Amino acid sequence: MKKNCLVTGVLTVFALISLPAFAVLGGSEASVQTDQIQLKASLRSTQAQTYTVHELRAATGLVVREYAAGGTVFGVAWEGAWPPDMQQLLGSYFDQYMQERKQQARNGPPGRRPVHVELPGLVVNIAGHPGWFRGQAFVPSMLPSGVAAKDIR
């Protein structure tokens, strides 16, 4: 028991030191472990033919799936009653994502509907309603061959 506490403590300290960004999308596959700590989530990893899926289940019921190949996370998908922190999820892609969201809010036809962000280097889709959110984000150029957008779910 004591040993477990110590290990957890060390991991937490490690996370705090090594983690200004807590990058997910486009980041190192190793960041999955720090995401697990941040989300206080359980982790289950499964191997597909050309990639690995790391499924994180948080106590809130939020499920985040991180898709990785060659040590890099190329896509994330999530579902749950409430959305994850998009900055934590999108890492270095967050700024261009928010810029596009704000531009769409300014220029798009008014009314409430699902979100589609399609930039040359980033795709994000979000839909649902308060109490049920679902989304996916991926970097098109990072998709391993044979993997389609619909596989990130």
Partner 1 sequence: MSYRRNFLLSIAATVFTGILITSVGCGGGSSAKSNSIVTSGGNVAQISVNGGPNGNYANGVFVSVTVCAPSTSTCQTIPNVLVDTGSSGLRILSSVMTISLPQQTGSSGPVVECLPFISGYTWGPVQTADVQIGGEKASAVPIQTINETAFPVPTACSNQGPAMDSVQTLGTNGILGIGLAGPDCFACSPNSGLGNPNLYYACPTSGCQPITQTLTNQVQNPVALFPTDNNGVIVELPSLSSPAPSLIGSLVFGIGTQSNNALHGATVYTVDQFGNFTTSYNGKSYSGSFIDSGSNGYFFLNSALTGIPDCGGSSNSFYCPASSDNLTAMNQGASGGSGTVNFSVTNADSMFNSNNFAFPNLAGPVGTSADYFDWGLPFFFGRNVYVAIDGQSTPGGSGPFWAY
Closer residue to partner 1 (CB): 71 or 99: 99
Give the 3-state secondary structure of residue 68: strand
> Distance between CA 146 and CA 153 in Å, rounded?
15
Q: How far is the CB of 2 from partner 1 (least distance, A)?
A: 26
- Looking at the Cβ atoms of 52 and 100, the one nearer to partner 1 is 100
Vertex 144 angle, CA 22 and 62, to 5°: 40
CB of 2 or CB of 112, closer to partner 1: 112
Question: Considering the complex, what minimum distance in angstroms separates the CB of residue 3 from partner 1?
Answer: 26
Q: Read off the amino acid at residue 129.
A: H
Taking residue 20's Cβ as centre, other Cβ atoms within 10 Å add up to 7
Minimal distance in Å, beta carbon 35 to partner 1?
Answer: 15
| Residues near partner 1 (CB under 8 A) | 40, 58-62, 77, 79, 81-83, 85-88, 94, 98, 101-102, 105, 107-116, 118, 123, 125-136, 148-150, 152-153
Residue number with CB closer to partner 1 (20 or 131): 131
Q: Report the b/e string of 120-147 with b at 16+ CB within 10 A.
A: eebbbbbebeeeebbbbbbbeebbbeeb
